[in-house]
DNA sequence: TTGTAAGCGTTATCAT
DNA sequence: ATGATAACGCTTACAA
């Protein structure tokens, strides 16, 4: 006595062909909307499809066509950033939009452990994906190797150094940081510091470098504090530390809006007025910026466009076109916080 | 004259077999780490693999094994929520953790247009995925149909009604809303209102129902305002509206922490002290809660666990185990805002 | 322990 | 316009 199978075998193209009294070839042509099928054949096939409940097996199709029409987007962020950083959502949506338009499926793969890292690398190698957009890769992890391994068309968002020679979509963090710091200086501040973050990433390093460049002679390492992540908490603690180090501080560049928001809270709790007593500027022009009171002066980073551009970079490679790095414009948004 | 092909054909298992002087079968056994291969054969194969640069084609493998060891996570959120709602990141990470442990690859599919909706549905149907976790499906969209179509093992996060009879991982929004509203009432407030949101979703409806239940006789529809999204902006505007409607309002339940944060800002700009003049409570215990001054009293929603549980629900189905809805505990976090 | 060969469900080429 | 038939790259009985 045997148990009844719960789920019936999926109908194949053969079942359709049989039901329609036609060949597999014809069925395939109908399914793919090709020319050269008679109206009657088409109708017969369509009826048969409905009758047997056929849906095409994409895996089999991919095997023969040698493409998947899917692009991976790999996110490798520290746990907390997935929550705090609004850019990443915009990047995702931007990439999705570009790919959707080209009729590619975006599949997002997240890396949150070594195990993930290897599994994702295998996924890339396996031919399940035609290309990849890589958000914040670590130079060391297996992803870069996998991409190189099989010459997978890929592009970075951002521009970590030490990574393979791939096209990227990025902004000029040093120039943008220099610009907003100069503007802050332009309000007449005498003692300006920075809450730097994520120095293990190119963006973190570059923003610090830009700050330093703008400060020139006035740069004082004692007025710079460093935190590993672009978080509200980093800003809050960082500002308290700066205040302790030099109570006369009257300006601060925070490495991101989240950091700036934390700093503003710390400042206000310490009884300093913003922007009268201390001016504060951020980076990103994320939703944080408008939420602060006063609203944040910051650098607008075109997060969505970064995603879109990176996606287009891999699309270009897929079409055999040359694709080279693209650096996008940023603009200083001057509001009430400085 | 013909152009040189840029990328060489990928090595197949046949190439390895040839290079090693062994059969495909043996190579396959080595690759899959099976028993019954001699040490010398294994070494020869490994050498050959390295020599020809072989990586197995997963699509082909999936075709024959009839599984992909991948689970889709479908996110269908209005644009803005992907940025404002921190829960979704937690859900993602939670699901990923559970699947990673079971050696499944989580692939996140996002839906941001009708076009996406259909493409994703095809992706599900195509056999590229063994199961799906669905975050906030609309009852109407093609996803539910696709899942039903082929009987794909799936589970919801949350519990939209009108959706097919699938297991889900959710919290009891009405009970939780009732609980925190009661607590707010317990502080002696006389005029308490609500900023309701997302009434097109089960969570939005249920939170309103819970509020209403807690208010009983005291429920006054004039003290309830509604907004489509759980956003800071909704809270800000909603609070202003409530204040206009009844300046004597002294308590408010916001449908989410983001909403509560907006409300708090509006209150403070209007010169009301929190919690002295008006008490405010939120929902989620997201990172917003600790960011507010005073910190938010709110309902802790175990977002990560929701993701984990939903993932386990589909894993169970994959193993042929029964899987039934699971409702997770929430707890009231009482802090300074009321 | 290893080799052989039959699929997995498609698409694509070539006759007809 | 349609039908055979050969791939696509792999796993897996079954035989040896």
Output the domain CATH number for residue A11: 1.10.260.40
Q: Which of B63, B86, B108 sits opposite A108 (nearest CB)?
A: B108
Same domain, B241 and B324: no
Inside any domain, residue A278: yes
Nearest CA in chain B to A75: B108
Same domain, A186 and A164: no
Contact in structure between A239 and A217 (CB atoms under 8 Å): no
Put simply, the answer to whether B58 touches A105 (Cβ < 8 Å) is: no
Nucleotides of strand D under 7 angstroms from a protein beta carbon: 1-13
pLDDT for the residue B94 = 96
Inside any domain, residue B47: yes
- Strands, E assignment, chain A: 70-75, 105-110, 131-135, 154-157, 168-171, 192-197, 224-227, 251-254, 279-281, 298-300, 326-328, 331-333
A residues 148..167 contacting B (CB < 8 A):
149-151
- A11 CA: nearest nucleotide by C1': C9
pLDDT digit string (tens) for B314-336? 999 999 998 999 999 999 999 99
pLDDT for the residue B2 = 32
A229 lies in which domain range?
A: 173-300
Q: How far is the CA of B218 from the CAs of A129, B121, B213, B214, B338, in angstroms?
A: 58, 46, 10, 9, 19
Output the domain CATH number for residue A262: 3.40.50.2300
Distance A9 CA to D12 C1' (A): 19
- B25 CA: nearest nucleotide by C1': C3
- A34 CA: nearest nucleotide by C1': D1
B residues 83..112 contacting A (CB < 8 A):
83-84, 86, 89-90, 92-93, 96-97, 100, 103, 105-110, 112
Number of domains in chain A: 3
Nearest CA in chain A to B57: A126
Residue B32, chain A, CB below 8 Å: the answer is no
Q: How confident is the model at residue A2 (pLDDT cuts 50, 70, 90)?
A: very low
pLDDT for the residue B5 = 36
CB of A58 lies under 7 Å from some atom of strand C: no
A residues 199..228 contacting B (CB < 8 A):
none
SS3 string, chain B, reads CCCCCCCCCCCCHHHHHHHHCCCHHHHHHHHCCCCCCCHHHHHHHHHHHHHHCCCCCHHHHHHHHCCCCEEEEEECCCCCHHHHCCHHHHHHHHHHHHHHHCCCEEEEEECCCHHHHHHHHHHHHCCCCCEEEEECCCCCCHHHHHHHHHCCCEEEECCCCCCCCCCEEEECHHHHHHHHHHHHHCCCCCCEEEEEECCCCHHHHHHHHHHHHHHHHHCCHHHEEEECCCCHHHHHHHHHHHHHHCCCCCEEEECCHHHHHHHHHHHHHCCCCCCCCCEEECCECCHHHHHCCCCCEEEECCHHHHHHHHHHHHHHHHCCCCCCCEEECCEEECCCCC
Put simply, the answer to whether B107 touches A105 (Cβ < 8 Å) is: no
Same domain, A252 and A315: no
pLDDT for the residue B1 = 30
Residues 310-329 of B with CB under 7 A from strand C: none
Put simply, the answer to whether A232 touches B287 (Cβ < 8 Å) is: yes
Q: Token pair 């149909």 is at which residue?
A: B145
Nearest CA in chain A to B114: A100
Is the predicted pLDDT of residue B110 greater than 60, yes or no?
yes
Inside any domain, residue A99: yes
| Distance between CA atoms of residues B225 and B252, nearest Å | 11
Top pLDDT among B73 and A77 is at B73
Provide the shortest C-alpha distance from residue A172 to chain B (in Å): 24
Same domain, B87 and B140: yes
| Distance between CA atoms of residues B320 and B316, nearest Å | 6
- A29 CA: nearest nucleotide by C1': C11
Inside any domain, residue B155: yes
Same domain, A315 and A289: no
A residues 128..147 contacting B (CB < 8 A):
128
Inside any domain, residue B65: no
CB of A59 lies under 7 Å from some atom of strand D: no
pLDDT digit string (tens) for B175-234? 999 999 999 999 999 999 999 999 988 899 999 999 999 999 999 999 999 999 999 999
Inside any domain, residue A337: no
pLDDT for the residue A150 = 86
Is the predicted pLDDT of residue A4 greater than 50, yes or no?
no
* HSE-CB of A73 using CA atoms within 13 angstroms: 31
Provide the shortest C-alpha distance from residue A150 to chain B (in Å): 8
Asked if the peptide bond before residue B294 counts as cis, ω within 30 degrees of 0, the response is: yes
Q: Which of B89, B110, B126 sits opposite A59 (nearest CB)?
A: B126
CB of A181 lies under 7 Å from some atom of strand D: no
pLDDT digit string (tens) for A286-317? 888 988 999 999 999 999 999 999 999 999 99
| pTM of structure | 0.92
Residues 185-204 of B with CB under 7 A from strand C: none
pLDDT for the residue A147 = 87
Same domain, B154 and B263: no
CB of B139 lies under 7 Å from some atom of strand C: no
pLDDT for the residue A281 = 98
Inside any domain, residue A124: yes
Q: How confident is the model at residue B4 (pLDDT cuts 50, 70, 90)?
A: very low
| Distance between CA atoms of residues A299 and A312, nearest Å | 24
Mean pLDDT of A93-117: 96
Is the predicted pLDDT of residue A5 greater than 50, yes or no?
no
Same domain, A243 and A185: yes
Mean pLDDT of B123-128: 94
Residue B269, chain A, CB below 8 Å: the answer is yes
Put simply, the answer to whether A92 touches B115 (Cβ < 8 Å) is: no
| Distance between CA atoms of residues B258 and B254, nearest Å | 8
User: What residue has its CA nearest to the C1' of C8?
Assistant: B64
pLDDT digit string (tens) for B192-206? 999 999 998 889 999
Same domain, B180 and B293: yes
Contact in structure between B157 and B307 (CB atoms under 8 Å): yes
Same domain, A183 and A296: yes
Inside any domain, residue B40: yes
Distance B26 CA to C5 C1' (A): 14
Same domain, B46 and B109: no
B residues 172..191 contacting A (CB < 8 A):
none
Distance A120 CA to D10 C1' (A): 20
Q: How confident is the model at residue B141 (pLDDT cuts 50, 70, 90)?
A: confident
Which of B12, B34, B56 is the last residue before a domain boundary? B56
Provide the shortest C-alpha distance from residue B233 to chain A (in Å): 9
Same domain, B226 and B204: yes
CB of A50 lies under 7 Å from some atom of strand D: no
Q: How confident is the model at residue A87 (pLDDT cuts 50, 70, 90)?
A: confident
Same domain, B129 and B156: yes
pLDDT digit string (tens) for B288-305? 898 899 999 999 999 999
Q: How confident is the model at residue A166 (pLDDT cuts 50, 70, 90)?
A: confident
pLDDT for the residue A335 = 97
pLDDT for the residue A83 = 66
Contact residues, chain B, for A62 at CB < 8 Å: 59
């Amino acid at each position: 006595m045997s148990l009844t199978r719960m789920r019936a075998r999926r109908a194949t193209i053969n079942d359709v062909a049989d039901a329609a009294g036609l060949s597999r070839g014809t069925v395939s042509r109908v399914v793919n909307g090709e020319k050269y099928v008679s109206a009657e054949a088409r109708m017969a096939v369509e009826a048969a499809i409905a009758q047997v409940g056929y849906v095409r097996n994409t895996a089999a199709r991919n095997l023969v066509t040698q493409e998947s029409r899917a692009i991976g987007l790999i996110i490798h962020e520290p746990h907390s950033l997935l929550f705090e950083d609004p850019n990443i959502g915009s990047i995702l949506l931007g990439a999705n939009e570009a790919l959707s338009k080209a009729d590619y499926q975006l599949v997002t793969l997240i890396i949150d452990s070594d195990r993930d890292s290897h599994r994702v690398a295998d996924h890339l190698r396996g031919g399940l994906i035609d290309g990849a957009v890589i958000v914040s890769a670590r130079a060391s992890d297996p992803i870069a190797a996998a991409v190189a391994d099989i010459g997978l068309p890929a592009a970075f968002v951002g521009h970590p150094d030490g990574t393979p020679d791939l096209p990227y979509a990025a902004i000029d963090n040093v120039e943008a940081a220099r610009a907003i710091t100069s503007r802050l200086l332009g309000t007449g501040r005498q003692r300006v510091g920075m809450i730097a973050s994520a120095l293990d990433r190119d963006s973190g390093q570059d923003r610090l470098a830009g700050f330093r460049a703008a400060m020139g002679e006035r740069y004082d390492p004692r007025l710079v504090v460093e935190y590993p992540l672009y978080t509200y908490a980093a800003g809050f603690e960082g500002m308290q530390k700066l205040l302790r180090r030099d109570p006369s501080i009257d300006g601060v560049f925070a490495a991101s809006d989240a950091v700036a928001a934390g700093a503003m809270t710390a400042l206000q709790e310490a009884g300093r007025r913003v922007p009268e007593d201390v001016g504060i500027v951020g980076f990103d022009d994320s939703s944080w910026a408008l939420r602060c009171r006063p609203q944040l002066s910051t650098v607008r980073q075109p997060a969505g466009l970064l995603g879109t551009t990176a996606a287009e970079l891999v699309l270009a490679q897929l079409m055999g076109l040359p694709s080279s790095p693209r650096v996008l414009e940023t603009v200083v948004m001057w509001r009430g916080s400085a």
